[in-house]
Structure 1
Amino acid sequence: MATVSPSATWVYALRLPHDPRAARVARMTVRSVLTSHGRPELLDAVELLTSELVTNAYRHANGPSSLRLTSLADGRLRVGVWDSHPHVPAPFGPSPHDRVPIAPAHADGGRGLGFVQEYADCWGGVALGDGLFDHRAGKLLWFEVGGAG
C-alpha cells in the first residue's frame, strides 16, 4: 500500500471582491493555511503584510484583487497580491533605493508599505499593463518571509 505524504511546496489562491472586508478574509485565510502547514512562526508578519497589501488594493483599485500564498522548496513563503491598478508603489519598484519614508508619528496612515521593508526578507512588484489591449491589467506585488533554518 502506498503512503501519501504532504508536499513541502504548495500554493493557495483566493480571489477577493472589492469589499472593505477583503483584508479580514485574507488574514483569516493566511492564519488557516499557515496553521495547517505548521508554520506558526510566520503568522504575525504574514498576516500584517498581507493585510496591508490587500487593504491598499481595496483603497487604490476599483475592482477585485487576488491573494496567492506559495510555499517554496527552501522553506520560504511568497505572498502575492494582484489588483487592477497598474501603479507599482515604493518600495516595490525596480530601484533598490526606492524606499518608503517613515511616516510622521501624528499621521493617520502611511505606515503599511514601510512594514514590508521592516518585516519581509525580500519583495518586488511588476506592472502588468493598463488593460487597454490585453486582459492582464494591474500589478502584482509580492514579498517573501521565512526560510530553511
Structure 2
Amino acid sequence: MNFSDTTASAGAWVLENGHRALLAVTGGRFPKKLLGMETIELHTVGRTSGQRRSSMLTAPIFERDRIVVVASKGGHSDHPDWYKNLVANPDVEVTFRETTTPWTAVTADADAKAALWPTVVKVNPGYDGYQRKTDRDIPVVVLTPRR
C-alpha cells in the first residue's frame, strides 16, 4: 500500500468511525447529513465470511426509489470491501433513520455512470478529485428497493 492509499484508508476509517461515534453519542440524532448528502448504513453479506457487514455511507442521490452511492474509498487504488461484497451478492439492506429495508445493488455501466456523474460531483466535488487521484474507475452503485 502506497502513501496515498494509506492516507485514503485512514481518512475513510476516520469518517466511518467518527460518524458512528457521533450517532452513538447523540442517540442517532446527529449527523443525519454529511456534506449535504443523506447518510445511510449499507448492510452487505461478506463475500468470503458470509457474515453481515455494515458500512456508513453518504448518498449524493437519495430518492424514494433510488439511492446512489459511490465506491470511492477516498481515491484508494482498490475498491472498498462493501463494494466487493455487493458485487458478489447484490441483495443488500439499507438503514436510513433507524428503518432497515431490503434493496438491490447494481453497478452503473459506463453510460449510466456518465449520466449520473455530473449530479454526483455537483453534490460533492470531492468525488471528482478522488477519481483523478486513482487509476481505477470508481464505481457508482444504484440501489433500488427490493420488492
TM-score range (shorter-chain normalised) is 0.3 to 0.5
Structure 1 or 2: larger helix share?
A: 2
Determine which structure has more spread, i.e. the larger CA radius of gyration. Answer: 1
Structure 1 or 2: larger strand share?
A: 2
Q: TM-score with structure 2 length normalisation?
A: 0.33
